[in-house]
Amino acid sequence: MKTKTMKELFRTEEIVKLCHALNSKIRVDMLQDIYRNKGISLAELADRLHISKAAVTQNIKILVKANLIELKNTPGKHGQRKICYLKENGFIIRLKWNFDPNDMYEAEIPIGQYTDYKVLPTCGIATTKSMIGIEDDPRYFDAPSRTQAGILWMRQGYVEYRLPNYLKENQHPIEIQLSMELSSEAPGFSENWPSDIYFYLNGTELGHWTSPGDFGATQGLYTPPWWNINWNQYGLLKLLSINQRGTFLDGLMISPVTIDSLKLHYKSELKFRLAIPDNARNRGGMTIFGNGFGNYDQGIKLRVIYRETPGELKHGLEPSDFTPNI
């Protein structure tokens, strides 16, 4: 069974763009064909659907505007070819929200900006230009250049990140969302290599997700050309949500841990850990993809939704470095 990536939409303009993009049989056919044929060109798409190149171009623009697909130029026999890739496999549309859409902040954490780690080989870390140190030597996870990392992997262990807390004194979190691209870590790569990846916040276990494999049969959309073709290429985009009903992954509950049970406030530390613990049933390792690797070109995206309580604001930090569209 294929694991779907999900993106949550609640902003009116995003929902309108999505509905407009899907309000056409031709565009739905195009999306299905792009899904079945990763890396198909615009010319090939026109031939397969028996429509003109002009019609393909016109409809592709609508799909790009709705953030459904991405175009990439690659060399061809007769010049540059425009290649199509899906950005998402699924969407969650929320029509009813119990908060003001303006009551939130967002940030993106580079995958190499961890504040604690413990890793066991096989392991490694790399930027978009080169390896950091040598493979299977955990000491290089301390290298200063790790903040530029685009990929890191381990057979067992964890990495922990300090998430920014921009809440003010009269603001109380009602949901935390984290989006990241993950896979297992197999020798070389293996499409069938299950691994239980656990999530923690401030030491509380939030639940786990079983990655189905370590994917390398096709090249990652953003994975650089120098990367070994016999290594993993991309992961799956996962959306972790902790709210007042429990903890969810891609919209499915994975544990009853609620955000209220974490007792978070404007002075709280937010320590987020990804781990392959000793007691995991499937210890198949973990790979985290960041900017310049995989299929999504992103770090760990954070969204904190909060509710304000009446009263005069005394203290607090101003949100900064926002990164929209988790």
> What's the average model confidence in pLDDT over 251-276?
97
Question: Beta-carbon neighbour count of residue 45 at 10 Å?
Answer: 22
Q: Using alpha carbons, list the distances in angstroms from residue 189 to 59, 125, 212.
A: 36, 16, 12
Q: 133: phi > 0 → left, psi -120 to 50 → alpha, else beta; which? A: left
Q: Which of 7, 51, 27 is nearest to 250 (CA)?
A: 7
pLDDT of residue 307 exceeding 60: yes
- pLDDT band for position 318 (cuts 50, 70, 90): very low
> What's the average model confidence in pLDDT over 244-271?
96
Q: Which two tokens stand for residue 180?
A: 């990241």
Q: Report the SS3 class of residue 262.
A: helix
Helix axes 25-36, 53-65, angle to 10 degrees: 80
Residue 279 neighbours by CB under 8 Å, 6+ apart: none
> What's the average model confidence in pLDDT over 4-13?
64
Stronger pLDDT, 21 or 7, i.e. the higher one: 21
**Cα gap 149→290, rounded to integer Å:** 7
> Pairing between strand 271-276 and 151-162?
antiparallel
Q: Which of 189, 121, 179, 181 is nearest to 151 (CA)?
A: 181
**Cα gap 59→151, rounded to integer Å:** 34
> What's the average model confidence in pLDDT over 305-311?
83
- pLDDT band for position 197 (cuts 50, 70, 90): very high
Phi then psi dihedrals of residue 99, to 5 deg: -150, 160
pLDDT tens readout for residues 203-250: 999 999 999 999 999 888 899 999 999 999 999 999 999 999 999 999
Q: Using alpha carbons, list the distances in angstroms from residue 227 to 74, 126, 155, 289.
A: 17, 10, 19, 13
pLDDT of residue 276: 98
Buried b (16+ CB within 10 A) or exposed e, 153-190: bbbbbbbbbebbbbbbebbbbbbbbbbbbbbbbbeebb
pLDDT of residue 100: 65
Q: Give me the domains of the chain, ranges plus CATH numbers.
A: 6-91 (1.10.10.10), 97-308 (2.60.120)
Q: What percent of the chain has pLDDT over 70?
A: 87
User: What's the whole-model pTM score?
Assistant: 0.78
Residue 85 near residue 295, CB atoms below 8 Å:
yes
> What's the average model confidence in pLDDT over 17-22?
89
> What's the average model confidence in pLDDT over 308-324?
50
Q: Using alpha carbons, list the distances in angstroms from residue 220 to 15, 60, 116, 132, 292.
A: 28, 21, 28, 20, 10
Q: Which two tokens stand for residue 190?
A: 């293996």
pLDDT tens readout for residues 110-147: 999 999 999 999 999 999 999 999 999 999 999 999 99
Q: Go through the chain and tell me how many residues it has.
A: 326
